[in-house]
Amino acid sequence: MEVQAQEIANRLRAAERVGVYCHIDADGITGGAIASEALSRAGISHDVSFLKKLDEASLQVIRREAPPVAWFVDFGAGQLHHMREMDAVITDHHVPTSREIPRENRRDLVRFAEASDRVLMVNPHMDGEGSDVVSGAGLAYAVARAMDPKNRDLAAVAIVGAVADVQDQEFRRLRGFNRTILQDGIEAGVVRASIDLRLFGRETRPVHKMLQYSQDPWIPRLSGNGEACIAFLLEIGVDLKVEETWRTWSELEAGEKRRIVSELATHMLGRGCGWREVERLVGEVYTLPREPVGSPTRDAKEFGTLINACGRYEAAEVGYRVCRGDRGEALEEAFRLLAGHREHLVSSLQWIEEIGLTQLDAVQYFHAEDKVRDTVVGIAAGIALQASGNRQMPILAFAYAPDGVKVSARAPRELVARGLDLAAIMREASKRFGGEGGGHHAAAGATIPRGTEEEFAHAVDALVKGQLSHAAAPPSGPP
Residue 308 pLDDT: 93
Q: Residue 84 pLDDT more than 90?
A: no
pLDDT in tens, 363-412: 999 999 999 998 888 988 988 887 776 878 999 999 999 889 999 999 98
Distance separating alpha carbons of residues 73 and 167, to the nearest angstrom? 17
Decide: residue 258, CB within 10 A, 0-12 exposed, 13-18 middle, 19+ buried: exposed
Q: Residue 22 pLDDT more than 90?
A: yes
Q: Residue 51 pLDDT more than 90?
A: yes
Average confidence (pLDDT) over 47-59: 91
Name the 3-class secondary structure at 239. Answer: coil
Residue 130 pLDDT: 72
Distance separating alpha carbons of residues 90 and 424, to the nearest angstrom? 21
Name the 3-class secondary structure at 337. Answer: helix
Q: Which residues of 157-195 are buried (b: 16+ CB within 10 A; e: fewer)?
A: bbbbbbbbbbbbbeebbbbbbbebbbebbeeeebbbbee
pLDDT in tens, 155-191: 999 999 999 998 998 899 999 999 999 999 999 999 9
Residue 188 pLDDT: 97
Please answer whether residues 211 and 219 qualify as being in contact, where contact means their C-beta atoms are separated by less than 8 angstroms.
Answer: yes
Phi, psi of 141 (to 5 degrees): -65, -40
Q: Which domains does the chain have, with CATH numbers?
A: 2-188 (3.90.1640.30), 206-247+249-293 (no CATH), 356-470 (3.10.310.40)
Q: Residue 245 pLDDT more than 60?
A: yes
Name the 3-class secondary structure at 175. Answer: coil
- Quickly state the pLDDT bin for 117 (edges 50, 70, 90): low
Residue 102 pLDDT: 44
Indicate the residue type of 235.
E
Q: Residue 138 pLDDT more than 80?
A: yes
Average confidence (pLDDT) over 194-215: 93
pLDDT in tens, 206-231: 999 999 989 888 899 999 899 999 99
Q: Output DSSP code: residue 24.
A: S
Least confident range of 117-121, 141-145, 220-224, 334-338: 117-121
Q: What is the mean pLDDT of the chain?
A: 89
Q: Residue 98 pLDDT more than 60?
A: no
In percent, the amount of the chain with pLDDT more than 70 equals 93
Residue 477 pLDDT: 45
Q: Residue 264 pLDDT more than 70?
A: yes
Residue 113 pLDDT: 47
Q: What are the distances in angstroms from CA 286 to CA 135, 191, 304?
A: 16, 7, 11
Indicate the residue type of 465.
K
Phi, psi of 443 (to 5 degrees): -145, 115
- Quickly state the pLDDT bin for 128 (edges 50, 70, 90): low
Residue 79 pLDDT: 84
- Quickly state the pLDDT bin for 73 (edges 50, 70, 90): very high
pLDDT in tens, 295-353: 999 999 999 999 999 998 989 999 999 999 999 999 999 999 999 988 988 888 888 88
- Quickly state the pLDDT bin for 474 (edges 50, 70, 90): very low
CB atoms within 10 A of CB 437: 25
Phi, psi of 37 (to 5 degrees): -65, -40
Q: Output DSSP code: residue 190.
A: S
Residue 107 pLDDT: 45
Please answer whether residues 149 and 15 qualify as being in contact, where contact means their C-beta atoms are separated by less than 8 angstroms.
Answer: no
Residue among 353, 472, 462 at smallest CA distance from 414: 472
Q: Residue 112 pLDDT more than 90?
A: no
Least confident range of 17-31, 69-83, 153-167, 265-279: 69-83
pLDDT in tens, 428-442: 999 999 998 887 788
Q: Residue 444 pLDDT more than 80?
A: yes
Average confidence (pLDDT) over 54-66: 90
Q: Residue 106 pLDDT more than 50?
A: no
Q: Residue 116 pLDDT more than 80?
A: no
Residue 345 pLDDT: 85
Please answer whether residues 261 and 214 qualify as being in contact, where contact means their C-beta atoms are separated by less than 8 angstroms.
Answer: no
Distance separating alpha carbons of residues 124 and 382, to the nearest angstrom? 25
